[in-house]
């Protein structure tokens, strides 16, 4: 599948269905939160079973929760 950026702030496929919104180009800081997310999700588990990991990110509306998640996804995608 070929992905391209169309007008606006969205990544779309050839079918023009939003795949994943891009994080804002104005997003800065929050390095401590992103580090905690990396530490949590990259830590190896001693369990023999692979368990799904959860992380609750909460706060008032408009403080950047979605942007933190989008930036984290972008960073994790770059590690591949």
67-78 burial: b if 16+ Cβ within 10 Å, else e: bbebbbeeeeee
**Token pair for 25:** 């180009």
pLDDT digits (tens, 9 = 90+) for 25-67: 778 788 899 999 988 888 776 766 667 888 888 999 988 898 9
Question: pTM higher than 0.75, yes or no?
Answer: no
Q: Where are the domains of the chain?
A: 31-78
Residue 19: its pLDDT value, please?
67
Decide if 17 contacts 11 (C-beta within 8 A): no
């Amino acid at each position: 599948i070929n992905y391209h950026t169309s007008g606006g702030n969205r990544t779309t496929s050839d079918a023009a269905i939003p795949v994943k919104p891009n994080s804002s180009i104005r997003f800065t800081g929050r390095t401590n939160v992103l580090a905690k997310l990396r530490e949590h999700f990259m830590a190896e588990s001693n369990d023999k079973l692979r368990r799904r990991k959860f992380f609750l990110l909460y706060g008032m509306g408009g403080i950047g929760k979605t942007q933190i998640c989008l930036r984290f996804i972008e960073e994790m995608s770059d590690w591949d």
